[in-house]
Structure 1
Amino acid sequence: MERGSFGRVVVGSVVTTLALTGCQLKNGGEDLVNGKQQFVTNCAACHTLARAGASGVTGPNLDEAFRQSRADGMKDSTFAGIVEGQIAHPNRNAQVDPATGKELPLMKPGIVTGEDARDVAAYVASAVAEPGEDTGPLAAVGASKAEGTATEQGGTLDIPVAASGLAYKFADATATAGQVTVKSENPQPTQHDIAIEGNGVNEKGEVVTSGGVSQFSADLKPGTYTFFCSVPGHREGGMEGKLTVK
């Protein structure tokens, strides 16, 4: 989910509406495992939700947005009603990236629908601003984390995007000095690219989604570089790593 969804002002206004109408989403046996999976696939790149392993920064931090309401004793059913309402009718006010001055992408209405939307709402309601970690079947689902080292082979350095969340599959990378093609396949519906900077090099590939490959070629000298996603907010959310060229 992208910027413009669960801000504190939105939470306050929707809570007021729910209080006036008496409308709350009842627990109807929603599938929390599916809800978490849908959240990490469609929402984790833009929102922070600790129990889902989500660290997105282009949308509101859900834990912070609901923390005071949780402390005040608000029920999960009310949280779920707020979340489902925002999925169906997100805030459409344009937001600007303070670092670049560019407008950030708005959350699309109905990014998940039907039972999936209800499952997402139920999971977020159960997890938001809650300490600790998910247990049982929920523990097996979550945003991916970068691990290990990508190694250049035959002049190609492959650093794929992880299956979900703000992460590449690898935490760092190594390459041999010379002409190197850097490529990154993105399996997510969220847009990502691959970029590097350092030692006078500043290159990036195209932004891609859903199986697309972002790539470029550069002449790399020995030294240390940073690879990262240049989509606004993604690097800040943790989508970067160290590239060592020898």
Structure 2
Amino acid sequence: MRRGGYAPVVVGLAAVALGLSGCELKSSGTDVVNGKTLFAQKCGACHTLARANTTGTAGPNLDEAFAQSRADGLGQSTFRGVVYRQILNPNINSQVDPATEKDIASMPPKLVTGDDARDVAAYVAQAAAVPGKDTGKLAAAGAKKAEGTATEKNGTLAIPVAAAGLAYRFADATATAGQVKIESKNGQPIAHDIAIEGNGVNAKGPVVQSGGTSQFSTDLKPGTYTFFCSVPGHREGGMEGKLTVK
């Protein structure tokens, strides 16, 4: 999914709400902790949602998308219905690129299904455009920000992708000058890679997902470099860090 390639998830929420009664989720028996976890894993690489700590740029910023409708007093059940309908029918708001006359890509079908889809819809409806932070069990779910320093060992520098969201597990890295193998294991279903630039070096590994490892070897001189994911929109969403070579 390329940056800016999504049709908006929410278009004219007030208008949509008028005909939504058949799509609203009447039951409150949803698991928002599961919904937040799945949102971060499946949706966070494309959407920004502050309470879930996600910073995706390929799709709409959900806090911005729901802000006006929430201010206008639309109910949470309406928000659940809108999100749930979009999950079930991801092309309902698809648009045509005037340059190519082809459909602009929307989110993938069957990203989440069944009760999981209801849980995701319930969490987004609860969290979007609501200031503050989640508490209790919800606080432990969602995407985690990069922390700490990855250190090269025996010529290999491992910078794995975080469990969810647009982040590596480490915020920065260090290595010794010379030939270094840089690798990044990606357990997410969302595709990522690892790349570096600086001091005349511009190299990257293959794009991988679902347990694959992006890796390459290069000669590094002393200095400062940037490591990042080169998939469109991921670096902009915060998937980058500083590599110091001594």
TM-score in same-fold range (> 0.5) = yes
How many residue pairs get aligned? The number is 237
2:71 alignment partner in structure 1: 71
Which residue of 2 is the match for residue 125 of structure 1?
125
Superimposed CA distance per residue, residues 59-97 of structure 1 (whole angstroms, 9 cap, x where no aligned partner) = 10000001000000010100011101111112344679x
**Residue 109 of structure 2: aligned partner:** 109
Q: CA deviation at 1:181?
A: 0.5
Residue in structure 2 matched with residue 152 of structure 1 by the alignment: 152
Q: Which residue of 2 aligns with 1:4?
A: 6
Does the Cα contact within 8 Å between 1:5 and 1:87 map onto a contact in 2?
A: no
Runs of 5+ in structure 2 lacking a partner? none
Q: Which residue of 2 aligns with 1:139?
A: 139
Local SS of the residue matching 1:41: helix
- Percent identity of paired positions between Structure 1 and Structure 2: 67
When residues 4 and 90 of structure 1 are mapped into structure 2, their CA distance, relative to the original with a 3 A threshold, is farther
Deviation at 1:110, TM superposition (A): 1.8
Give unmatched runs, 5+ long, in structure 1.
Answer: 97-102
Deviation at residue 145 of structure 1 after TM alignment: 1.0
Once the 2 structures are TM-superposed, how far is the Cα of residue 25 of structure 1 from its aligned partner?
A: 2.2
| 1:204–1:216 CA contact under 8 A, matched in 2 | yes
SS in 1 for 2:225: strand
Do the aligned residues in 2 keep the contact of 1:173 with 1:244 (CA within 8 Å)?
A: yes
How far apart are residue 104 of structure 1 and its match?
Answer: 8.4
Do the aligned residues in 1 keep the contact of 2:193 with 2:205 (CA within 8 Å)?
yes
Q: Which moved more, 1:134-143 or 1:119-128?
A: 134-143
Q: Which moved more, 1:210-219 or 1:87-96?
A: 87-96
Aligned position for 2:21 = 22
User: After superposition, what is the alpha-carbon deviation per residue over 1:98-137, rounded to whole angstroms, capped at 9, x for unaligned?
Assistant: xxxxx98641112000000000000000000000011111
Return the letter of the residue paired with 1:177. A
CA contact (8 A) 1:104 1:232 kept: no
Counterpart in the other structure of 2:223: 223
- In the superposition, the TM-score normalised over structure 2's length comes to 0.91
Establish whether residue 45 from structure 1 lines up as the match of residue 40 from structure 2.
Answer: no
Alignment CA distance shift 1:124-1:21 (3 Å) = closer
Amino acid at match of 1:25: L
CA contact (8 A) 2:90 2:108 kept: yes
Whether the 8 Å contact between 2:6 and 2:104 is mirrored in structure 1 is: no
**Which residue in 2 is equivalent to 1:214?**
214
Q: Distance in 1 between matches of 2:128 and 2:57?
A: 16
Residue by residue over 1:209-240, the C-alpha shift from the partner in whole angstroms, topping out at 9 and shown as x without a partner, is 00000000101011000000000000000000
Q: State the alpha-carbon separation in 2 of the partners of residues 21 and 211 from structure 1.
A: 39
SS at match of 1:11: coil
SS in 1 for 2:26: coil
Matching of residues 88-99 of structure 1 within 5 Å? 88-91=88-91, 92-93=94-95
Structure 1 pair 21/68, CA: closer, same or farther in 2 (3 Å)?
closer
Q: Using a 3 Å threshold, how does the CA distance of structure 1 residues 63 and 95 change in structure 2: closer, same or farther?
A: farther
